[in-house]
Structures are given as structure tokens and as C-alpha cells.
Structure 1
């Protein structure tokens, strides 16, 4: 009887209030990505002698790390936020579901459509807006365009920032690089004349 009650609870309607910076499509994609990453984390246990329950708990603890979300439609911070929201609300349900060794498609349907309603009303065939090639920022009062990589990370021209470098030293290094870039730009402009 208790098992039937647990299964009924799994299918009760429940919606999560999303923060302003996370829309339904992002939450859906985050849910699907979380399910996919959990499946990956749990699929390579053939030679393990540890109890499966321990692997499930470890996978749930590890899955919301940004390293798992570099290849999805939205930038990793949004995916991590979706993952954390999902597991914060449904951690016990996710754990119970994973313990049944479901197929990936079944887990996605149960978790993302039926339980969390993350994908309810979302057209998964629609592609998200592409990431911009650059973002505009202001540094020292000047407008600056910074390139963005395919994962939404801003690319800085600094090769590597030593961990002991202060903010002032970093700002000075950026100023020097900008001055060098401006000189090179002026030189190219003069050569074109």
C-alpha cells in the first residue's frame, strides 16, 4: 500500500516557481541535461562492487557541476541553476527513480514531463537563441567588445592571470594590452592609407 502511495505522489501535479533569469525552456533543457548526465554517471559501473545506492547518491551530488553542462543549448551557469533547482525540489523522487534503473527515455519522461513539469508546454524542437559572438562592456569609461566562445564564456586577451595578482594589477595589464591593441589598430589604419 505504501508503494502505491509513493507512486501516486510521483505523478501529482507540481510546478516550481522559476527565478526571473531562468525561463521554462531553460529549465526544461536543464532537466533533460541533468537526466542525461545522471545516466552517463551511472552507466559505467559494470566492475564496481559498491552498492548501487551509493553510486546514485554520489551521482546526484556530482551532477550539478558546470563541467557536465558544456555541450548543451544554454550556457553552463543556467544549466547548473536548472539542475540545482530540480534536485532541490525533487531529490528524493529522483533518487527513488534512479534506484529502479530506468531507461534514459523513461527517466526523462517521468522527471521532466510528469514530475517536475519542467518541459510541459515547451517546444523542444525549437532551437534556443544563439549565443552572441561578442558582449559589450564598459571598462575605464570606454566601450569594449569582448569575444564569447561557444559555451558562453567571455574570452579575455590575458593569457593567464596568476592567482596572486591583485585587481589593480589585472586592470593595469588590461590597460596595457588595450593600448597595444589601439596602437596596432592605428598602425594598420595608417598603412591602409
Structure 2
């Protein structure tokens, strides 16, 4: 509902419980697990210029209920968006949320549905919680484990995205990705050999939260 109000939209289906893809409005402190609203992710993704001019082409990985793709589509209807998730249940919500937009929805594991394609920008809100971490009941009770946990160090999905994204970015393209608090150094170390520039941005609570990497022009 917070995302729905932010977008002046009557309802964002699945947002009440799919907190990975539908948390609070700009300026919120995030949930008890330390996960902020994805609004900063959306903002940093859409402030990028197309690498080759014309309409910006954007890939939303791990789209979940489609809230980030919806926010971008409403803010920037000129952006051509492909939204991907491997969960059929999540994509059922995404189709409800995105039915009035031009967003193209595909099902599959990370980059598999966009093999051979390149984008000006890739945004991603992947799972990044360490296996065995204690989470609040309102997260643990409603989020599927695959949407939260990513190996012993929480970096399994982040490693894959960082490693595979360059092959799907146009020259000068951007990867904009949410990370866990305290993961900035590890993600930077993974990304530095693969990107021309890398940066970590903090959320409204001061925690490391958004990774931005750019490909060479």
C-alpha cells in the first residue's frame, strides 16, 4: 500500500506481503530486517542516460510482484522494460500490477530469459540474506526462502548478477543493484575487475544499500 500511495495507484497487488518488491515510500527507514524501500533503486536506475541515444532499455531482474518495474514505467513511460523472475507465483502478481503498462514479463532464472540481449540499465533486488539469519516474523512468515536467502554469506545471487551482467549491458551501460548492509566491500571487490566504475550508495538509514557499476563507453 505504501508503494501504491507513492505511485498514486489504487492498488499494488502482492505488495502487502511481498516486502522485497513492495516496501515503504521514499524516506522510509525500511523493515525490521534492514531492507529499505526500493524507491532509491528505482531513482538511481532511471537517472541514467541511454548508452546509444533513443529509448532507454532496462532489465528488471528478480522483479517479484513487479513494483519496481511499475514505478519505473509510471515515472518513465519512455523506458522499454523487461521484467524477469523465476517464480510463477511472483509473476502472477506482476502481471496483475503491470497489465496496464508496456512492460514485457518473462519467466526464468536471472539472465536466462534474455540470452543474447543487451540493455542500457539492469536493476536488480536479489536475495542477499545469509542462510540461518533470524528474520522478523512478518518477513519470515510470508516471504519465500528463495526470495531472501543467498548462501552462507548472502552473496550467492549477488556474485552471479555481478559476473553475468556485463555480457548483457551495452557500452556505457549501468548495473544498479540492492545489496545488504555491510556487503559493499565484498561486492565492490567482485565488481571492480568487470566494471569501469563502481560505487556504493547508502540508504536513508545510512546503511550500504545500492551498488552502481558502469561499463566502459
Q: Which has the higher contact order (CA 8 A, sep 6+)?
A: 1
Same fold per superposition (TM over 0.5): no
The TM-score, its normalising length taken from structure 1, stands at 0.26
Between Structure 1 and Structure 2, which shows a larger proportion of strand residues? 2
Larger radius of gyration, structure 1 or 2? Answer: 1
Between Structure 1 and Structure 2, which shows a larger proportion of helix residues? 1
